[in-house]
Amino acid sequence: MSLSITFLGQSGFRLSDGTHAIVIDPFLSGNPVAKHKPGDITCDYVALTHGHQDHFGDTIELAKANNATVIGSFEICNYVNEKGIEKIEPGNVGGTIKTSFGWVAFTQAFHSSSFQGAYMGMPMGLMVNIDGRTFYHTGDTGLFSDMKLLSEIYKPEIAAIPIGDRFTMDGALATRAAEFIKPKVAIPIHYKTMDLLAQDASAFRPSGITVKELQPGETWEYSG
Ligand code: NI
Ligand code: MN
């Protein structure tokens, strides 16, 4: 089997096992580096790590166009439900929900979460089990040593880790994060999108882990 991994820019991904697809943090409109428009994307699920605009992005439009289920914090799911999204899977740190392709587990992240001034619950990371393997999207977060424990429990094969500094870890701290998580492949995210963030991934050099830099719009067929 292979997992199709499309990087949408900033922290956004579309993951597909060939039958089902999940989109994470689809910030497309207003994203200066995005190559996709919301209408280009098909998905069964839209999952959010937290409510900030550079993650929430086009969630409402994508969910409506695809009749997709929104996965996220209780507060985010309530919010999208008020905007007309009926299919929601709310959760919180420590929980796991079943999906058509596998499961999604909610993990902690050290950050904040609001949207247009409203509280959007805990910021989180997501463990996405799809195509028989687990993809860890850490969300926006600082470094924490329980990444090691989460890795022991969920055994992620691929990890997407923010390296852009200022709002998240920088490349050096993200290197430590990757070495805690020990995936086969680490994908740097949350950089280069805007001037305030790091402009390259040169400081992200975890030892013994393959670093895969994906350009916005690029799709990588991963068969590990
Ligand atoms: Ni954020
Ligand atoms: Mn962010």
Q: Structural domain of residue 197, as residue ranges? A: 3-222
In angstroms, what is the span from residue 1 Cα to ligand 2's centroid? 31
Q: Taking the model in full, what pTM does it have?
A: 0.98
DSSP character at residue 58: T
Measured N-to-C along each axis, helices 171-181 and 147-154 cross at an angle, to the nearest 10 degrees, of 40
Return the beta strands (E) in 110-207 as ranges.
114-115, 118-119, 124-130, 133-137, 158-162, 185-189
In angstroms, what is the span from residue 4 Cα to ligand 2's centroid? 23
Per-residue pLDDT at 1 exceeds 90 = no
Per-residue pLDDT at 224 exceeds 90 = no
Once rounded to an integer, what is the mean pLDDT over residues 179-203?
97
- CATH number of the domain that 82 lies in? 3.60.15.10
Per-residue pLDDT at 200 exceeds 90 = yes
In angstroms, what is the span from residue 183 Cα to ligand 2's centroid? 22
Strands 124-130 and 103-108: antiparallel
In angstroms, what is the span from residue 18 Cα to ligand 2's centroid? 28
Q: At 37, which amino acid appears?
A: K
* Beta bridge partner(s), residue 105: 96, 127
Q: Are 3 and 130 in contact (CB under 8 A)?
A: yes
- For 10: left if phi > 0, alpha if psi spans -120 to 50, otherwise beta; the answer is left
Tokens representing 104 are 């999604």
Strands 103-108 and 114-115: unpaired
Segment 66-78, tens digit of pLDDT: 999 999 999 999 9
Give how far Cα 115 sits from Cα of 32, 102, 107, 112, 121, Å.
20, 29, 20, 10, 10
Helical (H) or strand (E) element with 181? helix 171-181
> How far apart are the C-alpha atoms of 90 and 81, rounded to whole Å?
11
Work out how many domains the chain is built from and give that number: 1
Q: 10 Å Cβ neighbour count for 40?
A: 13
Give how far Cα 33 sits from Cα of 65, 190, 193, 216, Å.
23, 11, 6, 6
Segment 81-110, tens digit of pLDDT: 999 999 999 999 999 999 999 999 999 999
For residue 189, which ligand has an atom nearest its CA?
2
Q: 10 Å Cβ neighbour count for 20?
A: 16
Segment 29-40, tens digit of pLDDT: 999 999 999 999
Once rounded to an integer, what is the mean pLDDT over residues 175-200?
97
Q: Name the residue among 119, 181, 118 with its Cα closest to residue 150.
A: 181
In angstroms, what is the span from residue 141 Cα to ligand 1's centroid? 8
> How far apart are the C-alpha atoms of 1 and 224, rounded to whole Å?
9
* Beta bridge partner(s), residue 162: 189
In angstroms, what is the span from residue 166 Cα to ligand 1's centroid? 11
